[in-house]
Structure 1
Amino acid sequence: MTIFDQILEAQELLGKNHENAQSPEEKKLLLLAIDALWFLWRNGQAYEFEDYREDSESNAPHRVIAAFNTRDEADAWVRTKPKPPDLALVLIADNYHIVLSSRDGLRTSLVPDPEFEYYIEEMTRDGLPPPAATFNTREEANNWFNNQTAPPPQTVIQIGGEHYLAVYYRNINHRAMFPFSIVERLHARRKRREQNGPRE
């Protein structure tokens, strides 16, 4: 079944539920879902949506829409957008940031997002997962990663005794390797909040 067939079936199901909905609020929400699917279809984003769903089902980290080496590059990119992608995720030096924008696009900012720290924390809740590959140096790991034409969405590896998550963002063809130690930043913030209160 193609993504277009799935969208049509989903709309049909939503339409039936809309007919049986008891309250105006429920009807509005169901119409919103139907319109969202039409938006994807009519804006030529059905295949992109299909890729998004496949990425989501792989339990990989949340996808990003762009990646930059520096904050200056990211800021310049945002300024070129007449309508910045509000609430979208981007990488800056392989750190997650969220795009915040007013509806008119006149006020924008890129805010660090702890999304990935929580993701790694969940991955390690029952201990460190076994690495699929082990390397002595970052250069060796980079060569291994870059020589893969179609890497899996994520792979646990070990570099010099430290665990990393090698992530492939296929929607932008970007590869990134995140040290599991980034979860320590999350733990440090929690400790500061415990010591100084919730405003810390």
Structure 2
Amino acid sequence: MKDEAPTFEAINLLGLILEKTESEEEKELLFTAAEALRFIETTGQQYDFVDYRQDLKTEGPQMVIASFATRDEAEAWLKNHPKPPCRAAVLIADKYHTVYYRRDTNDRTMPSTPGIEFHLEEMMKDGRPPPPAATFDTREQARAWFYSLPERPSQAVIQLGGEPYLAAYHRNIDHLAFHPFSLVEGLKEWRKKMEQERTPEDPEPQS
């Protein structure tokens, strides 16, 4: 699997570096990195690791591990999951949420997160989205077009119902999400709220 998941070669390289490292703290960090790669090998997650590395090379938004149509579906999944992820992103109605799980207390939470808004903002030039690759009236039309492409990109800007959208393809779960660029407007309110919540410094006493 050298060409697909060179974890074995990476483990050997870490071992060579470990032999030349004198710092005990750095040795522990290198050992932890090697053990993480061994975990991938021994649990048979080489292909998942390959897909993860491939996603890192794309310009698409943050990777997610699951997608749900409703909050109730997501809550049921999290409640009944025998071994939920410690921390991972999921989509609920194409909106980003982060799963948090504490094994010692069995606490399971899933708050919404604004990561996609920042991604959309970075894509906007001069405050405007890139030109759309195609225009559609419905999501069904957009989905049919996207899945008909010879190679599905990680993302594509489209016009949907008269508004600019980002169509983001999550290859690991075969899900096409639609994110309106209008979500960026929410960042203005969020930043304004953060600014208002900042406690001003106490004025210096007058002498």
TM-score, with length taken from structure 1: 0.90
CA drift at 1:148: 4.5
* Distance in 2 separating the partners of 1:71 and 1:184: 23
Amino acid aligned to 2:48: E
Amino acid aligned to 1:197: E
Gaps of 5+ in 1: none
* Distance in 2 separating the partners of 1:88 and 1:24: 31
Amino acid aligned to 1:166: A
The corresponding residue for 2:136 is 135
The corresponding residue for 2:73 is 73
Residue identity over aligned pairs, in percent, reads: 49
Whether the 8 Å CA contact 2:130–2:157 is kept in 1: the answer is yes
Whether the 8 Å CA contact 1:83–1:104 is kept in 2: the answer is no
Whether the 8 Å CA contact 1:99–1:111 is kept in 2: the answer is yes
* Distance in 2 separating the partners of 1:193 and 1:48: 37
TM-score, with length taken from structure 2: 0.87
CA drift at 1:165: 0.8
CA 1:149–1:108: 2 relative to 1, 3 Å = farther
1:24 matched to 2:15? The reply is no
* Distance in 2 separating the partners of 1:157 and 1:70: 24
The corresponding residue for 2:159 is 158
Q: How many residues align?
A: 197
Question: For structure 1, which segment, 91-100 or 138-147, has the greater mean C-alpha deviation from structure 2 after superposition?
Answer: 138-147
Gaps of 5+ in 2: 200-207
Q: State which structure, 1 or 2, has the greater radius of gyration over its C-alpha atoms.
A: 2
The corresponding residue for 1:119 is 119
1:181 matched to 2:176? The reply is no
Over the aligned positions, Cα root-mean-square deviation in angstroms equals 1.9
